[in-house]
Amino acid sequence: MPADSSNPLVDSPERNARIAAKAKELWEADGKPGCGPEAYHENASEIIGMEEHPHAGEIPVKDLPDPQFADVQFENAEIQQNLGEFPERQTDQGDREHFPEKQDQA
């Protein structure tokens, strides 16, 4: 099966050479620190990926809300299901002891 040049997950010698060249370029731009160009491999790989697929992060928005609701924030109904019931008293504000008291042994 031939390597697909459009898939960034498949290793190809051409892509690896471009990444190595970009890593060396970044390393030289930083003044050639002692870590070597290998330390710039991950950054170079991301840059090459962005150059190969410049529109990858552009997802069109199809369902925009009506302009009359521009300042209104809607809560997801699924979140409301997980909130549970509110207690009659707020017990997390220090209005009760959090540890049981010792019972008298009679």
pLDDT digits (tens, 9 = 90+) for 8-46: 677 789 999 999 999 999 999 999 999 999 999 999 999
Q: Is 0.75 topped by the overall pTM? A: no
CB 20 within 8 A of CB 40: no
Tell me the C-alpha distance between 71 and 63, whole Å.
Answer: 16
The conformation of residue 51, written as its DSSP 8-state character, comes to H
Tell me the C-alpha distance between 20 and 38, whole Å.
Answer: 8
pLDDT at position 24 is 96
In the structure encoding, which two tokens stand for residue 47, read together?
Answer: 């840059």
Count of C-beta atoms within a 10 Å radius of residue 20: 17
